[in-house]
Copies of this chain bind each other. A is one copy, B any other.
């Protein structure tokens, strides 16, 4: 029933879950239910019919202590404790989530919701931090929404790359949604079938031959480029480093050229001193009047007021999965503006994502024990 075929140790471990854990799946709280359903789904594709087979456990390093503390749902402790080499796993309550223990070996944490960005107020450094903590495994790709003292731990690793695929799919989804004007042409109750003249009045757009601009060229942007190449888009990118383009379909250009040429501008760069507010009045003003901005990075890379000024001048369109501020307060103008389509920071979401993040934790615990370099090391 459950199988992770490309991780032999983890596969054996998961098969070791007691029947009780498997039975719990239907009653589990978020996000464990998500993980378990995902794992069960992966298992259906595999060939392993075993479940609850606690006779074949193969934990390694039985002598060494490996205590993991996590911020997720309590029921996840059983899953983490079943990983090879882990001797115990505990949940830390939501209201104490940043009062992290200094006597654990590994901490598995998830970012806040904008509330811990760029300031540590209300998130005091735990006494004696980092103590015996050897690894902090972050469950997100970005590192901007954590207390700064967290990074004083000996090793910190992100889940970078685990969400590149769903985020890139989201980017293509909103690009096509915009090109085909699906929200506009989809008929609703009370509508009438349009006449042929109405149908032909304003043709839909294509991605073919249009120019995709990528701000940033990390794993997300490179995956977007691979998709866009299949649609025969012209692909240009601006990246922070001087490294050459990793993809022959992607041409590196200076930032002013990027914004001026893009029909779709996908923002997939990390937030930082060089990108905060980067897309302000100047660069937005250089864009084509009908250009479409897709933001799957951080809201504050766009100057929200400058974007509104462009919109109010009848320019630009935007599909934003991230906003500034975030969460958007009730009644914020972005909810209702006809040139903006907002989704609530969900582009990472996929039935595979939690499984991949959990696999990252398992793999980095293995690497920690083996003394190998971590995946996603900060």
- Which among A194, A203, A205, A330 has the greatest number of chain B C-beta atoms within 10 A? A203
Q: Which B residues are in CB contact (< 8 Å) with A170?
A: 180, 204
- Return the contact of A343 from the options B38, B186, B208, B344 (Cβ within 8 A): B186
Copies of this protein in the assembly total: 2
B182 adjacent to A343 (CB under 8 Å): yes
A113 contacts the other chain (CB 8 A): yes
Q: Please, which residue of chain B has its CB at the minimum distance from the CB of A342? A: B187
Q: Is A108 an interface residue (CB 8 A)?
A: no
CB distance from A324 to the nearest CB of B (A): 13
Render A227-248 as a binary contact track against B, CB cut-off 8 A, 1 for contact: 1011100000000000000000
Residue A177, interface by CB 8 Å: yes
Do B169 and A199 touch across chains, with their CB atoms under 8 A apart? no
A353 within 8 A of B: yes
User: How far, in Å, is A221 (CB) from chain B's closest CB?
Assistant: 15
Instruction: Select which of B169, B191, B196 is within 8 A of A335 by beta carbon.
Output: B191
Alpha-carbon separation in the docked complex, A330 to B196 (Å): 16
Question: Taking the complex as formed, is A352 at the interface, i.e. its CB lies under 8 A from any CB of chain B?
Answer: yes
A142 to B23, CA, bound (A): 54
**Cα distance A147–B180 in the bound complex, in angstroms:** 31
- A173 to chain B: closest residue by CB: B176
B230 pairs with A346, CB closer than 8 A: no
The verdict on A350 contacting chain B, using a C-beta distance below 8 Å, is yes
Task: Indicate whether A262 reaches chain B with its CB closer than 8 angstroms.
Answer: no
Task: Select A203's contact among B191, B196, B350, beta carbons within 8 Å.
Answer: B350
Are A344's CB and B194's CB within 8 A? yes
Does A327 have its Cβ within 8 Å of any Cβ on chain B? yes
Would A203 and B34 count as touching, CB distance under 8 A?
Answer: yes
CB-contact partner of A177 in B45, B173, B196, under 8 A: B173
Q: How distant is the Cα of A177 from the Cα of B173 in the complex, in angstroms?
A: 6
The CA-CA distance from A105 to B344 in the complex, in Å, is: 59
Contact in complex: B349, A203 (CB < 8 Å): yes
Which single member of B31, B176, B207 contacts A200 (CB below 8 Å)?
B31
Q: How far is the CA of A38 from the CA of B345 in the complex (A)?
A: 37
Return A79 CB to nearest CB of chain B, in Å: 16
State A326–B165 Cα separation when bound (angstroms). 38
User: Is A313 an interface position by the 8 A CB rule?
Assistant: no
Q: How many angstroms from the CA of A113 to the CA of B194 in the assembled complex? A: 11
The A317-365 residues at the B interface (CB cut-off 8 A) are 326-328, 330, 335-336, 341-346, 349-354
6 A-B pairs whose Cβ atoms sit less than 8 Å apart in the complex = A169-B180, A177-B177, A189-B336, A199-B344, A203-B350, A204-B351
Q: Which 9 A-B pairs have the closest CB atoms?
A: A230-B230, A193-B327, A189-B336, A173-B176, A204-B349, A173-B180, A187-B342, A203-B351, A185-B343
